[in-house]
Structure 1
């Protein structure tokens, strides 16, 4: 056992060594903080200069595009000029410069759910990841949109003897509310990060949110005469199945169109709406009749639901209001093809 004096000296030596190490680390942390502050200050100054140059370039692009539109030059020459201007704008809006441009207004919807936070991704790969996750989410939810009402209708006929309990239906309606809120949130975030999502596409999800909220207040009645009392619920589930089919078809078609436009250099990787039509005529011959048939069926189901709500057993205000909102929300497959029907050249808008 070491003498007491030796033990005390060892403890003091250990304390001194630890203090010197802590002091050294403190000095290093302060030096690192000063270096980081200097770097951030220098980066901010350089970023301000780049931002001013990018804004000036964007203004020049708009000026030249406006001049080309008013020009009496040959149509093909104007198209080439516009294509070159579009590529230049893509570099500004989609490239690394996009992270230093002034932020788009986040809108009331994002502020209501997230508060005054900045959802702009500074790195391009992060923005593309947001877009990729949005597309995957649409694919997954389109499958669930078709699966859930199908299961409810199968259970109704085989297990529940034509009378659905309230809880499963209300759980499905709660999922619809979650679905439309999450879609609207993701789409608003995409818009802030450079996606050219058309306003009507987001607004129709707001209508769908209200539809799902109203549906949650609709009483699911049981026996006696359950079949007639639940006629409106049954029609709504049939409509949901058809809407799920339409969503599957559109997601597949629109994704292919977006890839084609990116390959042709006519779309940004963050774009979600476009109007190019090369190489899609064969697909449209298949897709248009199917979608118009689905929309006609949805209109038929909507009329039956409205009649059931007005003159049938079910006369609550929720049924009538939900039917009106459902018609607005059904633009999930109609908006772009309505424009296609009015354009003999086959131009459509693609929401991807």
Structure 2
């Protein structure tokens, strides 16, 4: 390329840069406008909530006074319910404040994902992250069953620490962005993080050597069950989301959930097998805690596995009878309707 051509190319590039500057200026202006609009929306949202609370309080006072509910009051209550739902939808499009956990970990960084496609992309990445890490954990666990090499054991345990720490952060971000993971299954991951941390600092002594194979079998089993859960739950969620029966930001999580009843429940035996395994580990560690070389980690892990095992079992056993009862009620209702016809 000649010098003249280089100069001409540069002049063209200068013109392109000016266009870039114009676009960037417009972009930054729009960003500022978006920030102002978000603040205005939040202000109006709070105003709506405040005014609605006043109206609700007034209606309750009227009801206490013994006022008869006329058609206007009934219609007003219906309108308030509709407005609450509409405000909830509007709120979902606005940035949300981080949870305490996220504020401690990340500070006041805004983790709200406002673009729907980006939300779904982040959720899908979360699902893939769990699947990939489960596969890696399975390979490492199997390797540790046949190779007695301390660094390899520590790699697996450190992976578990990192996995559960990352999982709790990602789930907190998903929750900020509309995912409805809650209750025990979220707490379960926090406890698992602590368990993995204790395992990491457990010294290599005789109790560890006696427990090592049991733990590796457990990790291998849980990894397989998690893969089965992912394959099954993701399929069920896809169908239910397509039917509008589930939220788009719902995720695959451990355990058996009410929405899973709309399909095969073949996972239950494997899940309960995992819970029994957790209780067995708690029992094994309890006995190992009396070993002369046992350190405090053994007793702490025994209690942790007992808590996880009981929590998982109780939570699942609460869900299953509820769904069986609902299913029976629906069956009876259908039978009554058929007789009436």
TM-score by length of 2: 0.69
1:238 corresponds, among 217, 221, 229, to: 217
- Cα distance change on mapping 1:347 and 1:153 into 2, 3 Å: farther
- Cα distance change on mapping 1:54 and 1:152 into 2, 3 Å: same
Larger Rg: 1
Distance apart, 1:133 and its partner CA? 0.5
Question: Does residue 139 of the first structure (1) align with residue 131 of the second (2)?
Answer: yes
How far apart, CA to CA, are the structure 1 residues paired with 2:86 and 2:250?
Answer: 12
Distance apart, 1:40 and its partner CA? 4.7
* More RCO (CA 8 Å, sep 6+): 1
Distance apart, 1:241 and its partner CA? 2.3
How far apart, CA to CA, are the structure 1 residues paired with 2:236 and 2:52?
Answer: 26
2:141 corresponds, among 149, 152, 156, to: 149
How far apart, CA to CA, are the structure 2 residues paired with 1:37 and 1:295?
Answer: 53
How far apart, CA to CA, are the structure 1 residues paired with 2:130 and 2:37?
Answer: 39
The Cα offsets for residues 214-256 of structure 1, whole Å up to 9 and x where unpaired, read as: 11221113xxxx6x76112222222222222332232222222
Distance apart, 1:210 and its partner CA? 1.3
2:89 corresponds, among 89, 92, 106, to: 92
How far apart, CA to CA, are the structure 2 residues paired with 1:135 and 1:59?
Answer: 39
- Cα distance change on mapping 1:132 and 1:61 into 2, 3 Å: farther
2:262 counterpart residue number? 279
1:9 counterpart residue number? none
TM-score by length of 1: 0.67
Residue pair 2:175, 2:181 contacting (<8 A) in 1 also:
yes
- Cα distance change on mapping 1:98 and 1:322 into 2, 3 Å: same
Q: CA RMSD in A?
A: 4.1
Unaligned runs of 5+ in 2: 1-6, 60-77, 328-341
- Cα distance change on mapping 1:214 and 1:293 into 2, 3 Å: closer
Question: Does residue 103 of the first structure (1) align with residue 82 of the second (2)?
Answer: no
Question: Does residue 247 of the first structure (1) align with residue 241 of the second (2)?
Answer: no
Unaligned runs of 5+ in 1: 1-13, 68-80, 156-163
Distance apart, 1:132 and its partner CA? 0.5
Question: Does residue 288 of the first structure (1) align with residue 280 of the second (2)?
Answer: no
Distance apart, 1:307 and its partner CA? 0.8
The Cα offsets for residues 274-323 of structure 1, whole Å up to 9 and x where unpaired, read as: 7435632xx11x2212322332233223212221222x354211111122
Residue pair 2:140, 2:152 contacting (<8 A) in 1 also:
no
Distance apart, 1:46 and its partner CA? 4.4
Question: Does residue 177 of the first structure (1) align with residue 174 of the second (2)?
Answer: no
Question: Does residue 337 of the first structure (1) align with residue 331 of the second (2)?
Answer: no
The Cα offsets for residues 38-62 of structure 1, whole Å up to 9 and x where unpaired, read as: 6455545544555466667889999
Q: Secondary structure at the match of 1:189?
A: helix
How far apart, CA to CA, are the structure 1 residues paired with 2:294 and 2:208?
Answer: 10
Residue pair 1:90, 1:268 contacting (<8 A) in 2 also:
no
Q: Secondary structure at the match of 1:289?
A: helix
1:302 corresponds, among 282, 292, 296, to: 282
Residue pair 1:275, 1:347 contacting (<8 A) in 2 also:
no
2:339 counterpart residue number? none
1:204 corresponds, among 175, 188, 193, to: 188
Distance apart, 1:190 and its partner CA? 0.7
Residue pair 2:282, 2:301 contacting (<8 A) in 1 also:
no
Q: Secondary structure at the match of 2:324?
A: coil
How far apart, CA to CA, are the structure 2 residues paired with 1:240 and 1:37?
Answer: 49
How far apart, CA to CA, are the structure 2 residues paired with 1:182 and 1:112?
Answer: 14
1:258 corresponds, among 224, 237, 245, to: 237
2:119 corresponds, among 118, 127, 130, to: 127
Residue pair 1:250, 1:333 contacting (<8 A) in 2 also:
no
2:307 counterpart residue number? 328
Distance apart, 1:262 and its partner CA? 0.5
1:168 counterpart residue number? 152
